[in-house]
Structure 1
Amino acid sequence: MIIAVDVYYEENKAKSVGVIFQGWEDSKPLEIIVSYTETPHEYEMGYFYKRELPCIQELLKLTDISQIHTIVVDGYVYLNNEKKPGLGHYVYTHFSGKIPVIGVAKNAFRDNEAFVKKIYRGSSAKPLYITTVGIDLADAAGHIQRMYGEYRFPHLLKLLDKETKETRL
Protein backbone atom coordinates (compact mmCIF):
# COMPACT_ATOMS: atom_id res chain seq x y z
CA MET A 1 0.00 0.00 0.00
CA ILE A 2 0.94 3.63 -0.45
CA ILE A 3 0.30 6.44 2.02
CA ALA A 4 0.32 10.14 1.18
CA VAL A 5 0.69 12.39 4.24
CA ASP A 6 0.23 16.08 5.03
CA VAL A 7 -0.03 18.30 8.11
CA TYR A 8 -2.08 21.45 8.73
CA TYR A 9 -1.38 23.90 11.55
CA GLU A 10 -3.64 26.23 13.46
CA GLU A 11 -2.39 28.14 16.50
CA ASN A 12 -1.05 25.48 18.91
CA LYS A 13 -2.46 22.39 17.21
CA ALA A 14 -1.67 20.28 14.18
CA LYS A 15 -3.89 17.96 12.17
CA SER A 16 -2.12 15.18 10.28
CA VAL A 17 -3.87 13.20 7.57
CA GLY A 18 -2.88 10.10 5.67
CA VAL A 19 -4.59 8.87 2.51
CA ILE A 20 -3.90 5.17 2.03
CA PHE A 21 -4.32 3.58 -1.39
CA GLN A 22 -3.34 0.36 -3.12
CA GLY A 23 -2.08 1.41 -6.54
CA TRP A 24 -0.88 4.53 -8.30
CA GLU A 25 -3.89 4.67 -10.63
CA ASP A 26 -6.49 4.32 -7.83
CA SER A 27 -9.33 6.84 -7.87
CA LYS A 28 -10.45 6.17 -4.28
CA PRO A 29 -8.52 5.68 -1.06
CA LEU A 30 -8.67 2.48 0.94
CA GLU A 31 -8.65 4.51 4.13
CA ILE A 32 -8.10 8.02 5.47
CA ILE A 33 -6.43 8.32 8.86
CA VAL A 34 -6.21 11.42 11.04
CA SER A 35 -4.22 12.36 14.13
CA TYR A 36 -3.91 15.54 16.18
CA THR A 37 -0.85 16.97 17.89
CA GLU A 38 -1.05 19.55 20.66
CA THR A 39 1.62 22.26 20.70
CA PRO A 40 3.71 21.16 17.72
CA HIS A 41 7.29 22.42 17.41
CA GLU A 42 7.56 26.07 16.39
CA TYR A 43 8.44 26.76 12.78
CA GLU A 44 12.17 27.40 12.21
CA MET A 45 13.24 28.61 8.79
CA GLY A 46 15.34 25.92 7.15
CA TYR A 47 14.23 23.30 9.69
CA PHE A 48 10.65 22.62 8.59
CA TYR A 49 11.10 18.91 9.34
CA LYS A 50 11.38 19.62 13.08
CA ARG A 51 7.78 20.77 13.05
CA GLU A 52 6.33 18.31 10.56
CA LEU A 53 8.17 15.02 11.29
CA PRO A 54 6.81 14.41 14.83
CA CYS A 55 3.26 14.91 13.53
CA ILE A 56 3.82 12.43 10.70
CA GLN A 57 5.40 9.93 13.10
CA GLU A 58 2.28 10.04 15.29
CA LEU A 59 0.02 9.65 12.27
CA LEU A 60 1.89 6.61 10.97
CA LYS A 61 1.37 4.83 14.32
CA LEU A 62 -2.29 4.51 13.27
CA THR A 63 -1.50 2.15 10.39
CA ASP A 64 0.28 -1.16 9.93
CA ILE A 65 3.49 0.33 8.60
CA SER A 66 4.72 -3.12 7.50
CA GLN A 67 2.02 -2.99 4.78
CA ILE A 68 3.21 0.39 3.41
CA HIS A 69 5.66 0.20 0.49
CA THR A 70 5.87 3.94 -0.32
CA ILE A 71 5.28 7.21 1.54
CA VAL A 72 4.39 10.37 -0.39
CA VAL A 73 5.05 13.69 1.36
CA ASP A 74 3.95 17.19 0.48
CA GLY A 75 7.36 18.78 -0.01
CA TYR A 76 10.92 17.88 -0.86
CA VAL A 77 13.26 15.00 -0.06
CA TYR A 78 16.35 17.10 -0.83
CA LEU A 79 16.51 20.88 -0.58
CA ASN A 80 19.56 21.62 -2.72
CA ASN A 81 22.14 20.22 -5.11
CA GLU A 82 24.33 19.15 -2.18
CA LYS A 83 21.51 16.88 -0.93
CA LYS A 84 20.60 18.94 2.11
CA PRO A 85 17.92 16.75 3.72
CA GLY A 86 14.32 17.90 3.51
CA LEU A 87 11.23 16.50 5.20
CA GLY A 88 11.07 13.45 2.92
CA HIS A 89 14.63 12.44 3.78
CA TYR A 90 13.89 12.65 7.50
CA VAL A 91 10.78 10.50 7.06
CA TYR A 92 12.92 7.98 5.16
CA THR A 93 15.63 7.83 7.84
CA HIS A 94 12.98 7.52 10.58
CA PHE A 95 12.12 4.13 9.05
CA SER A 96 15.80 3.17 8.71
CA GLY A 97 15.70 3.61 4.96
CA LYS A 98 13.29 0.70 4.51
CA ILE A 99 10.34 2.59 2.99
CA PRO A 100 10.91 4.72 -0.13
CA VAL A 101 9.70 8.32 0.08
CA ILE A 102 8.50 10.49 -2.79
CA GLY A 103 8.30 14.24 -2.31
CA VAL A 104 5.73 16.11 -4.38
CA ALA A 105 6.04 19.90 -4.29
CA LYS A 106 3.94 22.54 -6.01
CA ASN A 107 6.65 25.21 -6.05
CA ALA A 108 10.28 25.28 -7.15
CA PHE A 109 13.02 25.40 -4.55
CA ARG A 110 16.19 27.28 -5.38
CA ASP A 111 19.41 25.42 -6.22
CA ASN A 112 18.05 21.86 -6.21
CA GLU A 113 17.76 21.01 -9.91
CA ALA A 114 20.15 18.03 -9.65
CA PHE A 115 17.70 15.87 -7.66
CA VAL A 116 14.35 17.13 -8.97
CA LYS A 117 12.27 15.92 -11.87
CA LYS A 118 9.55 18.21 -13.16
CA ILE A 119 6.38 16.58 -14.39
CA TYR A 120 3.46 18.15 -16.20
CA ARG A 121 -0.02 16.76 -15.76
CA GLY A 122 -3.23 17.62 -17.51
CA SER A 123 -3.16 20.84 -19.48
CA SER A 124 -1.23 22.74 -16.80
CA ALA A 125 1.81 24.75 -17.85
CA LYS A 126 3.05 24.57 -14.22
CA PRO A 127 4.99 21.47 -13.21
CA LEU A 128 5.02 19.43 -10.04
CA TYR A 129 8.48 18.96 -8.57
CA ILE A 130 9.34 15.36 -7.67
CA THR A 131 12.18 14.30 -5.39
CA THR A 132 12.82 10.89 -3.91
CA VAL A 133 14.91 8.62 -1.76
CA GLY A 134 14.91 4.82 -1.80
CA ILE A 135 13.42 4.66 -5.30
CA ASP A 136 14.70 5.78 -8.70
CA LEU A 137 13.70 9.39 -9.48
CA ALA A 138 12.38 8.56 -12.96
CA ASP A 139 10.27 5.70 -11.54
CA ALA A 140 8.89 7.94 -8.79
CA ALA A 141 8.03 10.68 -11.28
CA GLY A 142 6.31 8.06 -13.45
CA HIS A 143 4.20 6.92 -10.50
CA ILE A 144 3.01 10.46 -9.77
CA GLN A 145 2.46 11.10 -13.48
CA ARG A 146 0.17 8.03 -13.71
CA MET A 147 -1.93 8.90 -10.67
CA TYR A 148 -5.64 9.25 -11.29
CA GLY A 149 -6.97 12.67 -12.24
CA GLU A 150 -6.90 14.94 -15.23
CA TYR A 151 -5.44 18.01 -13.54
CA ARG A 152 -1.99 19.15 -12.44
CA PHE A 153 -2.46 17.79 -8.94
CA PRO A 154 -3.48 14.08 -8.78
CA HIS A 155 -6.95 13.38 -7.39
CA LEU A 156 -5.84 11.53 -4.23
CA LEU A 157 -3.29 14.22 -3.37
CA LYS A 158 -5.97 16.86 -3.85
CA LEU A 159 -8.25 14.82 -1.56
CA LEU A 160 -5.43 14.70 1.01
CA ASP A 161 -5.05 18.48 0.87
CA LYS A 162 -8.82 18.95 1.28
CA GLU A 163 -9.07 16.50 4.20
CA THR A 164 -6.08 18.07 5.93
CA LYS A 165 -7.59 21.56 5.83
CA GLU A 166 -11.20 20.50 6.39
CA THR A 167 -12.81 21.10 9.79
CA ARG A 168 -11.01 23.44 12.08
CA LEU A 169 -8.90 21.91 14.84
Structure 2
Amino acid sequence: MIVAVDVYYEENKAKSVGVIFQSWEDSKPLEIITSYTENPPEYEPGFFYKRELPCIRELLKGTDINQIHTIVVDGYVYLNDEKKPGLGHYVYTDFAGEIPVIGVAKSAFHDNEAFVQKVYRGNSSKPLYITSVGMELAVAAKHIRSMYGAYRFPHLLKLLDQQTKETRL
Protein backbone atom coordinates (compact mmCIF):
# COMPACT_ATOMS: atom_id res chain seq x y z
CA MET A 1 0.00 0.00 0.00
CA ILE A 2 0.95 3.63 -0.47
CA VAL A 3 0.23 6.39 2.03
CA ALA A 4 0.29 10.10 1.25
CA VAL A 5 0.55 12.28 4.36
CA ASP A 6 0.08 15.93 5.25
CA VAL A 7 -0.31 18.05 8.39
CA TYR A 8 -2.36 21.19 9.00
CA TYR A 9 -1.74 23.53 11.93
CA GLU A 10 -4.11 25.83 13.75
CA GLU A 11 -3.15 27.64 16.94
CA ASN A 12 -1.87 24.94 19.33
CA LYS A 13 -3.17 21.90 17.46
CA ALA A 14 -2.17 19.84 14.44
CA LYS A 15 -4.33 17.63 12.27
CA SER A 16 -2.49 14.89 10.38
CA VAL A 17 -4.14 13.02 7.54
CA GLY A 18 -3.08 10.00 5.54
CA VAL A 19 -4.68 8.81 2.33
CA ILE A 20 -3.98 5.12 1.84
CA PHE A 21 -4.24 3.56 -1.61
CA GLN A 22 -3.14 0.37 -3.34
CA SER A 23 -1.99 1.48 -6.77
CA TRP A 24 -0.65 4.70 -8.26
CA GLU A 25 -3.56 4.77 -10.72
CA ASP A 26 -6.28 4.43 -8.04
CA SER A 27 -9.10 6.97 -8.19
CA LYS A 28 -10.33 6.28 -4.65
CA PRO A 29 -8.49 5.70 -1.39
CA LEU A 30 -8.71 2.43 0.50
CA GLU A 31 -8.83 4.42 3.72
CA ILE A 32 -8.32 7.90 5.12
CA ILE A 33 -6.71 8.08 8.55
CA THR A 34 -6.51 11.08 10.86
CA SER A 35 -4.72 11.95 14.06
CA TYR A 36 -4.55 15.08 16.20
CA THR A 37 -1.61 16.45 18.12
CA GLU A 38 -2.00 18.94 20.94
CA ASN A 39 0.74 21.54 21.27
CA PRO A 40 2.92 20.42 18.34
CA PRO A 41 6.50 21.71 18.33
CA GLU A 42 6.89 25.32 17.23
CA TYR A 43 8.13 26.00 13.72
CA GLU A 44 11.86 26.68 13.57
CA PRO A 45 13.06 28.27 10.31
CA GLY A 46 15.21 25.73 8.48
CA PHE A 47 13.98 22.87 10.68
CA PHE A 48 10.44 22.28 9.40
CA TYR A 49 10.82 18.54 9.93
CA LYS A 50 11.05 19.01 13.71
CA ARG A 51 7.44 20.20 13.67
CA GLU A 52 6.04 17.86 11.05
CA LEU A 53 7.79 14.55 11.76
CA PRO A 54 6.28 13.88 15.22
CA CYS A 55 2.79 14.41 13.76
CA ILE A 56 3.46 12.05 10.85
CA ARG A 57 4.96 9.46 13.20
CA GLU A 58 1.81 9.61 15.36
CA LEU A 59 -0.46 9.36 12.30
CA LEU A 60 1.31 6.27 10.95
CA LYS A 61 0.80 4.45 14.25
CA GLY A 62 -2.75 4.04 12.93
CA THR A 63 -1.54 1.85 10.05
CA ASP A 64 -0.01 -1.57 9.64
CA ILE A 65 3.32 -0.03 8.67
CA ASN A 66 4.54 -3.40 7.38
CA GLN A 67 1.94 -3.12 4.60
CA ILE A 68 3.16 0.31 3.45
CA HIS A 69 5.65 0.20 0.57
CA THR A 70 5.86 3.95 -0.17
CA ILE A 71 5.21 7.18 1.73
CA VAL A 72 4.41 10.40 -0.15
CA VAL A 73 5.02 13.69 1.65
CA ASP A 74 4.00 17.23 0.80
CA GLY A 75 7.42 18.80 0.39
CA TYR A 76 10.97 17.84 -0.42
CA VAL A 77 13.25 14.91 0.37
CA TYR A 78 16.34 17.04 -0.34
CA LEU A 79 16.41 20.83 0.04
CA ASN A 80 19.40 21.65 -2.12
CA ASP A 81 21.99 20.34 -4.56
CA GLU A 82 24.21 19.27 -1.63
CA LYS A 83 21.45 16.89 -0.45
CA LYS A 84 20.53 18.85 2.66
CA PRO A 85 17.84 16.63 4.21
CA GLY A 86 14.25 17.81 3.98
CA LEU A 87 11.10 16.42 5.58
CA GLY A 88 10.98 13.39 3.26
CA HIS A 89 14.51 12.35 4.17
CA TYR A 90 13.72 12.56 7.88
CA VAL A 91 10.59 10.45 7.39
CA TYR A 92 12.73 7.89 5.52
CA THR A 93 15.34 7.69 8.28
CA ASP A 94 12.63 7.60 10.95
CA PHE A 95 11.49 4.30 9.45
CA ALA A 96 15.07 2.98 9.34
CA GLY A 97 15.37 3.54 5.61
CA GLU A 98 13.02 0.64 4.93
CA ILE A 99 10.16 2.54 3.25
CA PRO A 100 10.89 4.68 0.18
CA VAL A 101 9.68 8.28 0.38
CA ILE A 102 8.58 10.53 -2.47
CA GLY A 103 8.40 14.27 -1.95
CA VAL A 104 5.89 16.22 -4.02
CA ALA A 105 6.27 20.00 -3.88
CA LYS A 106 4.24 22.66 -5.64
CA SER A 107 6.97 25.28 -5.80
CA ALA A 108 10.67 25.37 -6.61
CA PHE A 109 13.26 25.65 -3.87
CA HIS A 110 16.38 27.82 -4.30
CA ASP A 111 19.56 25.92 -5.29
CA ASN A 112 17.67 22.66 -5.69
CA GLU A 113 17.87 21.12 -9.15
CA ALA A 114 20.31 18.21 -9.03
CA PHE A 115 17.98 15.81 -7.18
CA VAL A 116 14.63 17.13 -8.41
CA GLN A 117 12.58 16.04 -11.38
CA LYS A 118 9.86 18.29 -12.74
CA VAL A 119 6.61 16.53 -13.61
CA TYR A 120 4.04 18.21 -15.82
CA ARG A 121 0.51 16.86 -15.59
CA GLY A 122 -2.67 17.73 -17.41
CA ASN A 123 -2.56 20.97 -19.35
CA SER A 124 -0.60 22.80 -16.67
CA SER A 125 2.50 24.74 -17.61
CA LYS A 126 3.56 24.61 -13.95
CA PRO A 127 5.38 21.48 -12.83
CA LEU A 128 5.31 19.50 -9.62
CA TYR A 129 8.77 19.10 -8.09
CA ILE A 130 9.53 15.46 -7.28
CA THR A 131 12.30 14.21 -5.00
CA SER A 132 12.84 10.74 -3.58
CA VAL A 133 14.92 8.54 -1.31
CA GLY A 134 14.96 4.74 -1.30
CA MET A 135 13.64 4.79 -4.88
CA GLU A 136 15.17 6.04 -8.11
CA LEU A 137 14.05 9.59 -8.90
CA ALA A 138 12.90 8.65 -12.41
CA VAL A 139 10.70 5.88 -10.96
CA ALA A 140 9.24 8.25 -8.36
CA ALA A 141 8.45 10.83 -11.04
CA LYS A 142 6.83 8.14 -13.20
CA HIS A 143 4.62 7.10 -10.28
CA ILE A 144 3.42 10.66 -9.63
CA ARG A 145 2.88 11.25 -13.35
CA SER A 146 0.74 8.07 -13.54
CA MET A 147 -1.56 9.04 -10.66
CA TYR A 148 -5.25 9.38 -11.42
CA GLY A 149 -6.57 12.80 -12.40
CA ALA A 150 -6.50 15.16 -15.34
CA TYR A 151 -4.98 18.13 -13.56
CA ARG A 152 -1.57 19.26 -12.34
CA PHE A 153 -2.18 17.92 -8.86
CA PRO A 154 -3.19 14.20 -8.76
CA HIS A 155 -6.71 13.50 -7.49
CA LEU A 156 -5.70 11.60 -4.33
CA LEU A 157 -3.18 14.29 -3.34
CA LYS A 158 -5.86 16.93 -3.85
CA LEU A 159 -8.21 14.85 -1.68
CA LEU A 160 -5.49 14.66 0.97
CA ASP A 161 -5.09 18.44 0.92
CA GLN A 162 -8.86 18.92 1.25
CA GLN A 163 -9.17 16.40 4.09
CA THR A 164 -6.27 17.95 5.96
CA LYS A 165 -7.81 21.43 5.88
CA GLU A 166 -11.43 20.29 6.30
CA THR A 167 -13.14 20.83 9.63
CA ARG A 168 -11.51 23.21 12.01
CA LEU A 169 -9.40 21.67 14.75
With the shorter chain as reference, the TM-score category is: over 0.9
**Distance across 1 between alignment mates of 2:98 and 2:24:** 19
Give the aligned CA root-mean-square deviation in angstroms.
0.2
Aligned equivalent of 1:10: 10
Aligned equivalent of 2:124: 124
Return the letter of the residue paired with 1:54.
P
Aligned equivalent of 1:29: 29
Aligned equivalent of 2:112: 112
How far is 1:35 from its partner? 0.0
Aligned equivalent of 1:88: 88
Moved over 6 A (4+): none
Please give the secondary structure, in 2, of the residue aligned with 1:115: coil
Aligned equivalent of 1:138: 138
Return the letter of the residue paired with 2:28.
K
Return the letter of the residue paired with 1:20.
I
How far is 1:37 from its partner? 0.2
Please give the secondary structure, in 2, of the residue aligned with 1:114: coil
Return the letter of the residue paired with 2:90.
Y
Aligned equivalent of 2:71: 71
Return the letter of the residue paired with 2:74.
D
Identity percentage over the alignment? 82
How far is 1:31 from its partner? 0.1
How far is 1:136 from its partner? 0.3
**Distance across 2 between alignment mates of 1:45 and 1:117:** 25
**What 5-or-longer segments of structure 1 have no aligned partner?**
none
**Distance across 2 between alignment mates of 1:76 and 1:152:** 17
Return the letter of the residue paired with 1:139.
V
**Distance across 1 between alignment mates of 2:52 and 2:108:** 19
**Distance across 1 between alignment mates of 2:25 and 2:101:** 18
Return the letter of the residue paired with 1:129.
Y
Please give the secondary structure, in 1, of the residue aligned with 2:81: coil
Q: Normalising by structure 1, what TM-score?
A: 1.00
**Distance across 1 between alignment mates of 2:112 and 2:128:** 14
Return the letter of the residue paired with 1:33.
I
Aligned equivalent of 1:165: 165
How far is 1:128 from its partner? 0.1
How far is 1:88 from its partner? 0.1
Q: Normalising by structure 2, what TM-score?
A: 1.00
